[in-house]
Amino acid sequence: MKSPSQPRDRGIPEATVARLPLYLRALHGMAERGVATVSSEDLAVAAGVNSAKLRKDLSHLGSYGTRGVGYDVEYLVYQISRELGLTQDWAVAIVGVGNLGRALANYGGFVSRGFRVAALVDADPEVVGDTIAGLNVEHIDELEAVIKRRGVSIVVLATPAAAAQKVCDRVVAVGVTSILNFAPVVLSVPDSVDVRKVDLSIELQILAFHEQRKAGGPLMAVDSQ
């Protein structure tokens, strides 16, 4: 009828991809606590989503559940890890070793799952040569060489805003196609390159918007003229 374990759509919705790491984290926690099997309902609660959504998400990977029972935790961890590409090892370079870059270099959460900080790069002669998180900080002139030598495939940009686009262009030129950008600028890149953006200030502004509504909402409707 149908092949048992290979419905591989190869077209997983973006929204689903964004939630898989969430499920994975919840599953890791369960595995550590010795849970062998979990229902969509329980896993959904642990991940903070609706259970129907969870089932639909997982169904995009294949039919890995057992009706009447649930999902095997170990097996699901493996399948999601594989789908996300975490069964291989990713070399990450962090460019910009200011406060944020330093924090990222020391952040345990990176290393924990398939990611390895393989290089630190900065332009400031003051920090070049320093050892941070066990890594030597290299000079920005060496950027291309370092990326090639270490097999870096993901670059984290933690530079000042003014420098980000230039660094971005250079890493794209040597073939990097995945960038995590912390600099508050809109990077322009070819379509083939993925950029994900994390902007702390934007998150705060969104919170402020809602906070304002809660606080003075109905009162403040004082439109001047």
Map the footprint of DNA across residues 22-41, applying CB under 7 A: 39-41
55 counts as binding DNA under rule CB under 7 A: yes
Tell whether the torsion through CA atoms of 158, 163, 165 and 166 is positive or negative. Answer: negative
Instruction: Rank residues 16 and 181 by Cβ distance to DNA and give the closer one.
Output: 16
Question: In a 3-state reduction of DSSP, which class is residue 139?
Answer: strand
CB of 136 to its own copies, least distance (A): 19
| Ramachandran quadrant class, 195 (left: phi over 0; alpha: psi -120 to 50; beta: rest) | beta
- String marking each residue 61-100 x if it binds its own copies according to CB under 8 A: ----------------------xxxx-x-x-x-----xxx
51 counts as binding its own copies under rule CB under 8 A: no
CB contact burial 110-135 (16+ within 10 A = b; e otherwise): beeeebebbbbbbbeeebbeeebbee
Among 8, 29, 69, 200, binds DNA (CB under 7 A): 69
65 counts as binding DNA under rule CB under 7 A: yes
Place of tokens 């639909």: 56
Tokens found for residue 15? 């929204």
Point out which residues bind DNA (CB under 7 A): 7, 13-16, 39-41, 49-53, 55-56, 58-59, 63-71
